[in-house]
Amino acid sequence: MQHRFATDIFSPYLTKIYTLLIPKSTRTRYAAAKKEPLTTCKFSCLLTIMKKEFKKTEKAAESDKLKSGQIIDIAVSALDEEGYGVGDYEGMPVLATGVLPGEEARVKVTFTGRRVSFAETVKILRHTPSRLKTPPCDKAAICDGCPLIQMKYPAQLAWKTELVERKIRRYRSLSKAEIHHTIPSPKPLHYRNSAKLVVAGKFAAPLIGIYRRNSHEVIDIGNCPLHHPLINKVVQAVKEGIKKGKVPIYSARTGNGILRYLVVRISEMENRAMVILVTAQRSYNEIHHLAKHLQSVVPEASIIAQNVNGSAGNAILGEKDYFITKERAFMDSVGPIRFSISPRSFFQVNGGGAQIIYEKVREWGELTGREAVIDLYCGIGGISLYLATGAKDVLGIEAVTAAVTDAENNARINGIRNCRFEAGDAAELLSRIQEKQDKFDLIVLNPPRKGCDERVLASVASLAPARVIYVSCSPQTLARDLDILSGHGYRTLEIQPVDMFPQTPHVENVALLVKD
């Protein structure tokens, strides 16, 4: 009944479409097959033929689709937020590693999706002036660790400033905020003081590196230009020790083997290395012999531990550490503040970049020694302790209890008594502070990449500090949260991008807000 009603309503239109699109010979054959008069099978005939034509079109589109392994040429118009060169091939967006805006490249397709495909650069057909003639690493086309390493450093800084501007200017409330040029890292290379690396292959030819994107293939990074030289020295020594001791390497496919990951942390202040050998199960002989070899080649490796991780997932560290050496922690510093670093302590991977951020927060805080300060998402107390020397008192709030324990220990190490820390949910703790009607002059926000919960932002505004300083590793969530704070009566005056991670697309930002 419904079918007949639709046919009657649209009959004049169907007749026109039917006669225009379908040849009379086809109509006649269809009517004969259905054993119906030619004039009464218009609707079903049209639907059937349209379905057939759609399937033909779909099949043709499938045959035209890019295939993994296919070699194509693309022109790159921009870099996306992850550092991929953005190109186009017959209407399909293609994201390629190792290529810069303004370049044309021959690329090999590595992954195809419905809306976007990924590729690796095979050959640059036309170069941009922003490209380095001799990049410090030859793996940029396949390694995701440093996708901008083939770009001249001033061009990287300019690109990061533009990225921040694009994200911020999407919001009308932020149109008048001043965005400064990105401050360069003190070290564009060899700035990373920690590395978490995958161990793969066979003991006769071990690979130590990172996963290639969209695969479990390990890229052997060897002498990485981002790592502190001591990390590279440790990696080479561990490779030699694996070969010498015939240490079985773990295979995710079979579940056999021992050594899974290598974690290295460096104290620049003490020029020492902490090495964590992550194994699939507890193993004494192989790992102790490997540790002995490592210390004989790299005496700076004064802290060595075995961590057991038997889980099937991608988590690197398991729950239990077994120290092979007597020492379990070392000291490092950001500016005048010293920190105790253990295997699980959070610490900024670029100490020089962290100092720039801490100094900017202190400058914009305009502390006179009379202010009460809250440091939200304080971690091990970096910003809290940095501000404590200029404030009356500082309260650090952090969700991770172990980090709060580290922060309290770091306060004792530095002899700082006007800084206290609380563990718990930020929104709940701020709500309790509101109930007490405590007054704060400055609140610092330093959330993870996902940004702040709206309840946290509302609570911050309810406390009505004269200034809010927001430190962020994501321009996108920073812009979103600044816009939300504008709705609570806070105006963003300035934003300072800082290059904490040279050769990568990541950029830190410090934003200053004042209460209108």
Query: How do the pLDDT tens digits run along the chain, 516 residues long?
Result: 444 444 444 455 555 555 666 666 666 665 666 556 655 555 566 566 655 655 554 444 444 578 999 999 999 999 999 999 999 999 999 999 999 999 999 999 999 988 999 999 999 999 999 999 999 998 876 787 899 999 999 999 999 999 999 999 999 999 999 999 999 999 999 999 999 999 999 999 999 999 887 678 899 988 999 999 999 999 999 999 999 999 999 998 899 999 999 999 999 999 999 999 999 999 889 999 999 999 999 999 999 999 999 998 889 999 999 999 999 999 999 999 999 999 999 999 999 999 999 999 999 999 999 999 999 999 999 999 999 999 999 999 999 999 999 999 999 999 999 999 999 999 999 999 989 888 999 999 999 999 999 999 999 999 999 999 999 999 999 999 999 999 999 999 999 999 999 999 999 999 999 999
Quick check: is 284 in a domain?
A: yes
Does 143 participate in catalysis according to the annotation? Answer: no
Cα(344)–Cα(365) distance, integer angstroms? 30
Long-range contacts (CB closer than 8 Å, 24 or more residues apart) made by 16-19: 17/46, 18/42, 18/45, 18/46
Q: Are residues 205 and 323 in the same domain?
A: yes
Give the pLDDT confidence score for residue 4 in this predicted structure: 45
Task: Answer yes or no: do 301 and 412 share one domain.
Answer: no
Calpha distance 147→82 (Å, rounded): 8
Please tell me whether residues 309 and 376 are part of one structural domain.
no
Nearest to 26 by CA among 48, 6, 9: 48
* 358 and 507 in a common domain: yes
Which domain-ending residue is among 18, 39, 61?
A: 61
Residues 92 and 198 in one domain: no
Domain count, the chain: 4
Q: What is the extent of the structural domain holding 235?
A: 194-334
Do the domain assignments include residue 341?
no
Q: Are residues 232 and 169 in the same domain?
A: no
Are residue 25 and residue 172 in the same domain, yes or no? no
pLDDT of residue 114: 87
Kindly state whether residues 45 and 93 are assigned to the same domain: no
* Predicted pLDDT of residue 139: 82
75 lies in the same domain as 47 = no
Residue pair 229/194 in contact (Cβ under 8 Å)? The answer is no
pLDDT of residue 7: 46
Q: Do 500 and 475 contact (CB within 8 A), yes or no?
A: no
How deeply is 371 buried, as exposed, middle or buried, from its count of CB atoms within 10 A (0-12, 13-18, 19+)? buried
Confirm whether 41 is domain-assigned: yes
Catalytic choice (41, 378, 452, 473): 473
In this structure, the answer to whether residues 168 and 286 fall within a common structural domain is: no
Classify residue 283: in a domain, yes or no: yes
415: which residues sit within 8 A by CB, 6+ positions away?
none
Per the domain annotation, does 82 fall within a domain?
Answer: yes
* Order of strands across the sheet that contains 85-89: 71-75, 104-112, 117-126, 92-97, 85-89, 78-79
Give the C-alpha separation, 120 to 280, whole Å: 33
What is d(CA 207, CA 221) in angstroms, rounded to the nearest whole number?
8
Give which of 121, 129, 119 is closest to 99, Cα–Cα: 121
- Determine contact, residues 360/390, Cβ cutoff 8 Å: no
Check which CATH number belongs to the domain holding 85 and give it.
Answer: 2.40.50.140
Residue type, 158: A
On whether both 173 and 86 belong to a single domain, the answer is no
The enclosing domain of 478 has a CATH number of 3.40.50.150
Same domain for 498 and 396? yes
Residue 38: the pLDDT is 55
Domain end residue (candidates: 13, 34, 61): 61
In a domain, 274, yes or no: yes
Q: Which of 334, 358, 376 is the last residue of a domain?
A: 334
User: 163 lies in a domain?
Assistant: yes
pTM of the model: 0.85
pLDDT at 63: 43
- Flag whether 16 is in a domain: yes
Q: How far is CA 233 from CA 226, 311, 507, in A?
A: 13, 29, 28
Q: How far apart are CA 469 and CA 510, in angstroms?
A: 7
In the prediction, which pLDDT does 438 show?
87
